[in-house]
Structure 1
Amino acid sequence: MRIILFGATGMVGQGVLRECLVDGDVTRVLCVGRRPSGEQHPKLHELVMSDLYDYSAALDQLRDYDACFFCLGVSSVGMKEDDYRRVTYDLTLAAGRALARVNPQMTFIYVSGSGTDSTERGSVMWARVKGATENALMRLPFRAAYMFRPGFIEPMHGVRSKTALYQAAYVIARPVFGLLQRWAPDRVTTSVKVGRAMLMAAKRGAPMPLVEVPDINRLGG
């Protein structure tokens, strides 16, 4: 299986990349981003692009892949809706449309978030934008498209958030992860389970297009 990965330097993407590299069914991983992932592995290849809104010059390098794991995203904190929409909806759909053109038989998996608003009309800005992004992706002519909606993710195997505030929160919360797993199992997952669940969905499919935390934990368990 050949996989394209966006967002390999983020916390979710780091975990997904690790699981791809250790999976025996994965033969090639192409990391697409504005800078290299920093990893070295025989399966790993890099496509560094200065403009992630325009793939016209890179289409030949994106052909013949079986799945795309889109883990690229930013926090909405302090952002206006138009700005957040550009770096969430517009950026994601630019990649999605390009890949649907050259790989219509691929499976596209988008990392959204728990609480995303599929109606696109709710009061929470980020949830509306994520909902619009999900809906637009599911209308593209892929073989399959799954919207992953993780909640709280426990980073494992050295995975770290590049956002200092988030990383500090993970360090503080680490001693209580076990309690969270017991008290709120439907809201908590791990970076390992997210990666494995994506691989399982790409290989065998998932029950529903919207993949919530319990589904992630079952697929990645």
Structure 2
Amino acid sequence: MEFQSAGPSVVKSIKQRDLLNTWLRLYAREQSIPRMSEYQPERIEDELPDLVFYTVDTSSQPPRLTIQSDGTRMSSAYGNTGKGRRLDEYLGARLAPMVMPVYYECIARRLPAFTIANMDDIYGRIVAYERLLLPFSDDGSVTHIIASLKTISEDGGFEIRNLIRGNDKLPVPTLRTIIDCDLFHRAPGRIPSGDALEFG
């Protein structure tokens, strides 16, 4: 599975960018992924319906991801809750080969991953499924991942219930990236040090 190289600007959702910028601020201190306990975005409570928390066991190959919480929107999209289950088992044989490599790449690269896939709801409306994965480490290896999952339709309304499992067509990936460029958080409206403007 091929992944493009991207910077933070690939993420268009304002709320997902806020989550990513908080991660980048922590990463920039030592150029290493942060601890889970350090990650405290503002207004994260508002985002909890779209977030899924995983623990990661890298002692097995491939790594084992276990769902620790289940965003209510994800439960609706998949048709049932997955808390306490392994992600590959929860996804099932049809979806796991498409989804798990994104998580494995995030773990191997120790960097955020961002993907977009298109799918149809039960009424045939196209829905873009935007996934942002943020890795965390408590012991040197990746021990946790937070996934932010957004569903957007240009048609406006759509039916989220059973969105991912509710039809015979698999999601169609349109973008797969690892965010490995510009790994710093720049406050808007500031000129970074070293890039001072010269007037001749």
TM-score (norm 2): 0.26
Greater relative contact order (CA < 8 Å, ≥ 6 in sequence): 2
Which structure has the highest strand share of the two? 2
